[in-house]
Structure 1
Amino acid sequence: MLNTGIFYNSRPDGFGVLEVADDSPAPDAPRQFVPLKRTEVTGTVTGPLAVLTLAQTFALPDAAPGPIEAVYRFPLPGDAAVTGVQVRFGAVEIRTELKEREKAEGEHKAAKRAGRQAALVTRESPDVFTLSVAGIRAGEEVVVRTDYVQVAKAEGAGWSLRVPLTTAPRYVRADESRSPHANGQPLALLRDPGHRFALNVTFAEAEQVRSATHALAVEGDRVQLREGEVTPDRDCVLTWRAKAEDRSALRVWTQPDPATGKAYFLALCAPPKFADAKKVPREVILLVDHSGSMSGAKWEAADWAVERFLAGLSEDDAFSLGLFHSTTKWFGERTRKATPENVRAAVEFLKQNRDQGGTELGVALEQALARSRSAETPARHVLILTDAEVTDAGRILRLADQESEKPNRRRISVLCIDAAPNSALASELAERGGGVSRFLTSNPDDDDVTTALDEVLADWSAPVLTGLTLEVNRAGVEVTGRSVALVVPGPTSAIDVGDLPAGRPVWVLGRAPLGTDPLTFRLRTGAETVAEVHADAKGITQRLKAFFGADRVRRLEYLLTGGTEGEDLRTQVTRLGYEPAELGAEKVFAENAGESAKDAIRKLLVCESLAAGVPSSETAFVAVRSEIGQPVQGTVAVANALPAGWSNQFLNLRAGRKSASRRSFREYLAGPAALPCPAPAMPADAVVESVDSMLMDFDADAAGDTTTDYDPLERQKNLQPLGMKRKSSPPPRPSGPPAAKASTAAPGAGAPAKLTPEMISRLREASARGPRGALPALGDVSVSVKAGQHAPTDGAILYDSATGAAGQFTFLSVALGDGGITADNIDRELTLLLFVGDLAAPRARVKLADVLRLGGRRPLNLRREAGQPVRLTLEDPNGAWAAGTPALEIVLGWRA
């Protein structure tokens, strides 16, 4: 996933990492000495608003000889508004001040040299921050509390909130190495970083609080983790329903601000499922991420999603398919009608191309948007399947902005697949692109990712509402991430909401001039008014200005990193509410023009950040204690947890220097002479000007050697970039069951899978090979159902196991004995439910029609712990097989 560009924002110098030395450490052994002990998220959630605090606790053992500085890169939601940081050194609490970054860093540096305790919080990218805490003393806790507010996403009849817990490596293009967002990398990665995460949040007027990523303990309104503390190796996703929820088509909250003459508003648009909504022909471009970071379950789930999506298209639809990593491969030069022949050829193209490399998402998206457009297709979409782990967000979002201006625009949607995705970019790209974003985990401990993808893609089979707009009875309305047009007669502003599957809700955040008449909002589709409301003053009013300011800051940062220049830059700045004159006189030479524009944007960014009280890449929070103590005697990097589901090839890279060897904790306790900063070039009171990570791919023979010093620049010459290794040996795709290969019909043709003794034998042989070139799997679960054996109307139990060994279910295969039953004529609601551990909630839901349409096999990604029960049932809500099931052969792939 990473290339040599990552090294351009790395340094050969750096800082040591304190840890307990082991004579024979395992490659992924947890670090035993970590100054960061615990991270806890606390706060309250009321309706869709979350007011949260991230508390990070640092401590040294009582025997530590001198104070140290700890440096940690940590994530926050990219769409949140950070409202303040407080620091407590022992019993003394200090509130930080938001200042220009250079000034804040200077104060932190001076405090370290003077022996004062200090804390610095800088923002590297919208969702990645660096925390430096200087003066951590033995026996004294240091707690850093970061306050932020966030709006939940509307999911069906409920809400969802994503709390990011770790930072994953991100692909950096060579020409992005100087971008401030390129610094949003982890300092180091370990399977177990040694620190833990806890949750303690109160939900007001909520019910059914759940999490697909973490086991919860819910007592009344209070929600905690069932295990108390966990390794922070995945995002924590919370879902809930509000009691007596008002989910009308349009809800609006406002915050009048007489000081600025503006009214800030937040609108929830939830268009109903109209009876007259029609399934319109679509032109869809699928972009599938085949970079190195997608290896494993994410790759299989993404490919399944493509096959599933293509099989659901009608012949009135058109599609293109592009596979991208370092380069992009296209299935044909033009879009094609979704005929059975074209769909079959596209699936074969997907199966044959298994190479991988870097993550050139922007290059692929630009190619997709430049493809020819069908004049007769009313709904045009780009659907991207990726983990979005890139840093060139500015230019990618610039593509979305440019596309939004076109009369025949394509809507951009993102299915983000990862345990710890770049959710900030995915959400922003979908919002600016007029589409939707969904996030799915690839962790086997969570719900089956393929089942979740099935549910997401089902939305695109629903009727689509096109051209939705939100009208506000004011001119000069400003909206974050969406285009606004003036409607005449007026004054009325029309906000583009996008093309949406019927019933999908979205947020619209903006501000409008205050006036004498009340603000009125109308949600419209074409000439029809869906809903109309007048502004009220209830609900979450006091936070909207901070939200709007945080979004303006984020948009200015993307302008700074997006390479926007000339008239286009002036247009974008005007849309943000600034005067073009603030950019200064236009320069003649390109070099001068580029630097002059960046300097002007930086000035606007600083002013907006300080005025709104929210941080940016050009500002920072700093706190300095007046009391003078001992000078800092060393700097310690705190590692992030490698996201669940990621390959070990991304494990650790210590940020370090050749002369600063790893010191054991015992040596540290011996005194300052043994501290890990002995080189004259980095004295004890030095400030680490850059704490960028040295992210490289260790070969197998070096992966276990965690004690040898290395020269980062020398290793850079000898190592290939992450994600670009072994291009000639891509991971093999699991072969489908013979039943699928025997069919000559297209995936969309509903080919029958006839059950014969020979085919059953071949099916079992194929299942034993296991997925993706794994070692032969022993103990695959084979379920044979005789004709008429079950009447599954109320849920027939096909397989039940009370106990068993630990392992992972990797695929499911189905074959039918009745050749007359096909994907086209089978009841759509016939569903296999797979329960693992909890027999009350299925971990996977598999529609038989979908499996048959794609040849009889689909991937699974479910872990079973030792002793957990497993149950497979058949659900038939419509009673299609009430008289009895036909003969079935089902195989559950198993890997110990």
Structure 2
Amino acid sequence: MMKFAFRSTFVISLLTLLYKATTTDMMVNVCGLLTANKEPVPLQGIQVELEVKDHVATVVSTLNYENKEDKPLEAVFVFPLPGDAAVCHFSAQIGQKQIVAEVKEKQQAREEYDDALSSGQQAFLLEESEQSPDVFSLSVGSLPPGESASIRLEYVTELAVQADEGLRFSLPAVLNPRYQPQGNGGGEGASVQVTSVPASLVPYSLSFSARVSSPRPVSKVESSSSLEPLQYLNPEQTQATVKLAAGHKFDRDVELLIYYKDAHQPTAVVEAGQASAKPGTLMGDPVVMVSLYPEFPQAVMSSVASRGEFVLLLDRSGSMSSHMNSRGTYQTRIDNARDTLLLLLKSLPMGCYFNIYSFGSRYEHIFPQSVEYSQETMEEALKKVKKMGADLGGTEILEALKHIYRQPCIPSQPRQLFVFTDGEVTNTKEVLDLVKKNSGSHRCFSFGIGEGASSALINGLAKEGGGHAQFITGTDRMQLKVMQSLRFALQPAVEKVSITWDVPKGVSVTVLSPLITALFQGQRSLMYAQLSGQSSEAAEGSVTVKYSLAGLPSQNQLHFDLRPAEDTGLTFHRLAARTLIRSLETEEREDGGWRDREVTKKKVVDLSVQSGVSSAFTAFVAVNKGDGEVIQGPLVRRNVPAPMLMKVSGYEFRSHYVDYDDDDADSISSLLQRSHKREFLVARGRPLPTFADDILDMKVNLTSGADDLPCSLDKKNSPKQPRRDPLLQLVSLQEASGCWVLDPALAAALGKTSEEVENSKPASVNQEVWATSLALIWLHGFKMDAQEEWELLAMKAVSWLRAQNASCVTECVEAGNALLGCNVQRDALGL
């Protein structure tokens, strides 16, 4: 047995290495557990109950606090929520007493909270970050020794339709540090104190259950987390429940994919107003939620566009070196992104234009401006993509986008922007405002990579840019989701969208949602409208959406019952209020006079207070004004940690020692605990360089190795790279035109020798025709489970074969099947 000696000289050397490794990425807001070693965390557990009705979700979270210390506490918890959630209820249960919070102007709410604490009263404050709507701060003030409190938080949210027609719900758990751009003070929201620890060290538990109901049967529910079996509640299978399996860890977001049978039909549902609210107001009048699910003519959709300027923007910040899942058993984010860019470049149509940008603390581009897609430009791009690493520092996406928008658009080549990022930025609203300002010049397709990607940023990019958003977590294949979005990008752009309402006399319609500018085959669009007045005529209305598709006028009409549906609560009203609040907040940030901005801000505050829905300018506040004793003594602040993934700029710390005695094990454990439990304030400016800051995000793997004491600090080379995917190996060999070349590399990708491939070729067949036929047969014979990934590049290959006017296709297919051991029919290849 080898004795592990933890020498002071070794520690000093390690600190030096760690400090050097992280100073280049020092502007990243790394943060650690605020309490000192062994101090308790007052949050004991979180219970989440999800109720899904069709495609709208209501989430109730109960946070259970207990003060186990001998002095009163103020507990502060900064945590993520879905970026489009409408937070509509906040209350505290203390013993038998429930205190319901009110929505008030943010500064007023803060002053009430502070005044209550200074008076020895219990108070509770919930506020949304002013920089990013998917980050909230919860303060539990004056919790006496031995006291418990249950905090109830409720929000409603829409569920996005995925490309495979599943509805996606995500309960964010991971709150990775958000990068603060240099020179950006960030305003009030940037100074929020964030406390995070590696997911494995989160001290509180999570329980999660979901109830799903729909007019149509629930076919299945899937998740990246382990679930208990789906339980149906009725014979029609229109209601079901599901729970997280025991032992769930806080190492990833909880994602559910819900599938209904024949679910995606256009609908319009009216919800009654609040009885206590004044008629003529948003909450007092009925609200209609319209769900559009357009079906375009098959003749238009079967043709794939051969034009377009495809601008690919890749995040190369240090956090992209993290693994796709928290267990480190899958590719890193940057490796996955590189493979995806390969597939994407191979699938682009001939005749289009493209360019690739990447960003970190600065941005780079492969070509000075977009170039025509050809074999030469594709090869040049791929060579540079192979060298791309997570080596550009922080996540400053704003300047890269500004540069892209300064480039003139190419006539008759519609611009399609693909953004790949793990979304760890603080200036989310500034980025989204820029995309919205340029929405008329492009469509934006966004991809959130890894746990903790900001839903506000990823969904916002797609919404403001008229595109589609995808999230890639755990073992998801990025290639599949990107190709799904590429199909949307190749669809003709919908233009000249207009919406008209037909309602009985005496009823008026006020549209609350922004004008719809993007419609995609198979994608739902939601809009909300307020119905005012009354009518004695037939209780039916209709909404008609007119648009131009590929130059052809088209329309979809939807009839709906004006009588309110039963048992919808105020869900639609709150979602409508959230939609209108977001529009007004954007308007407040746009250029305009101070007086105009103040007027708009007041509208947001008034609407937020009236509807009880959170906004950037309001907060929930509750004060316990009971007859209890005044809480004596100064409050001790305890910051509740949120889980984050461990990483530092692509470096991993690996020790070459596995055998050591108990004393040494205690020393290592103590060192790691100290490194994970140090205070860090996310504020304007540079974080302070401390030992905890330098080691916090490093993964420590004790593995067998050399006998000498010094440890190694390896960049990007750890862990060992997996063998390349055979599909990507074959794809990498395709020419831009769509064909394959007959060479040893192709034979190896097919699992054959060059001699076998050459000798099987029919005598009269051209080499490239033979090679392309073999590649298509292999794809159909061995990779049908990944057809969505290679379908577009296979279409290019088929088009190329047709252009050759080859008369020997049948002979090629027969010989190819014999060589590869397949049974693929010629018709299946599209020939």
Answer yes or no: same fold by TM over 0.5. yes
The answer on whether the counterparts of 1:382 and 1:411 sit within 8 Å (CA) in structure 2 is yes
Q: Is the 8 A contact 1:104 1:622 kept in 2?
A: yes
Aligned equivalents of 1:187, 1:632: Cα separation in 2: 22
1:150/1:88 Cα in 2 relative to 1: closer, same or farther (>3 Å)?
Answer: same
Contact 2:311/2:357 (<8 A) preserved: yes
Say whether the 8 Å CA contact 1:200–1:223 is kept in structure 2.
yes
Residue 550 of structure 1: aligned partner: 578
Shift of 1:342: 1.6
Cα deviation, 1:565-593, whole Å, max 9, x if unaligned, reads 23xxxxxxxxxxxxxxxxxxx5xxxxxx5
Shift of 1:207: 2.2
Q: 1:616 to 1:74 in 2, by over 3 A?
A: same
**In the aligned structure 2, how far is the partner of 1:44 from the partner of 1:705?**
37
Cα pair distance change 1:265/1:282, threshold 3 Å: farther
* Secondary structure at 1:400 match in 2: helix
C-alpha separation in 2, matches of 1:743 and 1:353: 17
What is the rounded CA distance, in whole Å, between the counterparts of 1:373 and 1:617 in structure 2?
35
The reply to whether residue 149 of structure 1 matches residue 184 of structure 2 is no
Q: Aligned to 1:616, what secondary structure does the other structure show?
A: coil
Whether the aligned pair in 2 keeps the contact of 1:273 and 1:503 (CA below 8 Å) is no
The structure-2 alpha-carbon separation of the partners of 1:421 and 1:599, relative to structure 1 and needing over 3 Å to count, comes to: same
The answer as to 2:751 corresponding to 1:751 is no
Asked if residue 231 in structure 1 is aligned to residue 242 in structure 2, the reply is no
Cα distance in 1, alignment partners of residues 775 and 434 from structure 2: 39
Counterpart in the other structure of 1:425: 457
Whole-Å separation in 2 of the counterparts to 1:344 and 1:459: 25
Match of 1:252?
Answer: 268
Conserved? CA contact 2:172–2:452, under 8 Å: yes
Whichever residue aligns with residue 503 of structure 1, its letter is G
- The alpha carbon displacement at 1:276 in A equals 1.0
Check if 1:275 corresponds to 2:277: no
Paired AA for residue 170 in structure 1: R
Contact 1:416-1:438 within 8 A present in 2 as well? yes
**Aligned partners of 1:53, 1:601: CA distance in 2, in Å?**
31
Match of 2:613 in 1: 614
Change in Cα spacing, 1:432 to 1:178, as seen in structure 2 (3 Å) is closer
Measured in 2, the distance between the counterparts of 1:742 and 1:301 equals 15
1:735-884 aligned within 5 A: 746=735, 749-752=738-741, 754=743, 820-821=771-772, 825-826=776-777, 828-832=779-783
Of 194, 214, 220, which residue of structure 1 is paired with 2:225? Answer: 214
Equivalent-residue separation in structure 1 for 2:731 and 2:471 (angstroms)? 35
Q: Which amino acid aligns with 2:231?
A: E
Task: Using structure 1 for the length normalisation, give the TM-score.
Answer: 0.67
1:368 counterpart (404, 409, 414): 404
C-alpha contact 2:78 2:194 (8 A) present in aligned 1: yes
Displacement of 1:239: 1.3
Work out the CA distance in 2 between the residues paired with 1:729 and 1:631. Answer: 53
What are the superposed Cα offsets for residues 451-492 of structure 1, whole Å, 9 maximum, x if unpaired? 44455445556x445327352237985453x44xxxxxxxxx
* 1:142-181 matched pairs, under 5 angstroms: 142-155=149-162, 156-181=164-189
1:532 matched residue in structure 2 = 557
Of residues 534, 542, 545, the one that matches 1:523 is 545
Higher fraction of strand: 1
CA distance in 2, matches of 1:130, 1:741: 49
Aligned residues: 687
Aligned pairs for 1:240-639 within 5 A: 240-242=258-260, 245-248=262-265, 250-255=266-271, 258-260=279-281, 264-277=287-300, 278-280=303-305, 281-296=307-322, 297-354=332-389, 355-377=391-413, 379-404=414-439, 406=440, 409-441=441-473, 443=474, 446-457=475-486, 459-460=488-489, 463-464=491-492, 466-467=494-495, 469=497, 471-473=499-501, 478-480=511-513, 482-483=514-515, 495-496=516-517, 498=518, 500=520, 502-511=521-530, 519-526=541-548, 527-536=552-561, 537-538=564-565, 540=568, 542-560=570-588, 562=589, 564-566=590-592, 586=593, 593=594, 599-625=598-624, 626=626, 627-628=628-629, 629-631=631-633, 633-639=635-641
Contact 1:126 1:424 in 2 (8 A): yes
The answer to whether the 8 Å contact 1:748/1:853 transfers is no
2:368 partner SS: coil
**Deviations along 1:518-542, whole A, 9 cap, x unmatched?**
6432233425434211233437573
Q: Which moved more, 1:823-832 or 1:600-609?
A: 823-832
How many Å separate the matches in 1 of 2:451 and 2:34? 29
Q: CA distance change for structure 1 residues 419 and 5 in 2, over 3 Å: closer, same or farther?
A: closer
65 and 520 in structure 1: CA distance in 2 versus 1, 3 angstrom threshold = same
Partners in 2 of 1:499 and 1:47 — Cα distance?
A: 21
Structure 1 position 264, deviation (Å)? 3.5
Mark the CA change 1:185 to 1:337 in structure 2 (over 3 Å): closer, same or farther: farther
Q: Per-residue CA shift, 1:98-157, capped at 9, x if unaligned?
A: 222223222322333333322211211311111111233444431111011111112343
Superposition RMSD in Å? 4.7
Aligned-partner SS, 1:134: strand
122, 127, 132: which one pairs with 2:127? Answer: 122
Residue identity in the other structure for 2:636? G
**Structure 2 match to 1:80:** 85
Query: Which structure has more helix as a fraction of its residues?
Result: 2
Gaps of 5+ in 2: 1-21, 234-239, 274-278, 323-331, 503-507, 654-677, 698-712, 758-766, 797-812, 823-831
Work out which of the residue numbers 199, 202, 207 in structure 2 matches 1:193: 202
Cα deviation, 1:319-348, whole Å, max 9, x if unaligned, reads: 222112222212223322222222121112
Match of 2:345, SS state, is helix
- The alpha-carbon distance between structure 1 residues 184 and 427, as it changes in their structure 2 partners (threshold 3 A), is farther
Contact 1:114 1:631 in 2 (8 A): no
Letter in 2 for 1:356: L
1:167–1:185 contact (8 Å) kept in structure 2: no
Please give the alpha-carbon distance, in whole angstroms, between the structure 1 residues aligned to 2:510 and 2:782. Answer: 48
Which segment drifts farther, 81-90 or 549-558?
549-558
Q: Cα distance 1:169–1:609, how it changes in 2: closer, same or farther (>3 A)?
A: same
Native 8 Å contact 2:741 2:772 kept in 1: yes
Check the 8 A contact 2:43/2:64 in 1, yes or no: yes
Change in 2 beyond 3 A, CA 1:170/1:787: same
Q: Secondary structure at the match of 1:826?
A: helix
Q: Distance in 2 between matches of 1:787 and 1:208?
A: 47
Aligned partners of 1:385, 1:215: CA distance in 2, in Å?
A: 27
Query: Is the contact between residue 112 and residue 632 of structure 1 (CA under 8 Å) also seen in structure 2?
Result: no
Q: Does the CA contact (< 8 Å) of 1:233 and 1:420 recur in 2?
A: no
**Cα distance, 1:53 vs. partner?**
0.5
Residues 480, 789 of structure 2: 8 Å contact kept: no
Range 639-648 or range 78-87, more displaced:
639-648
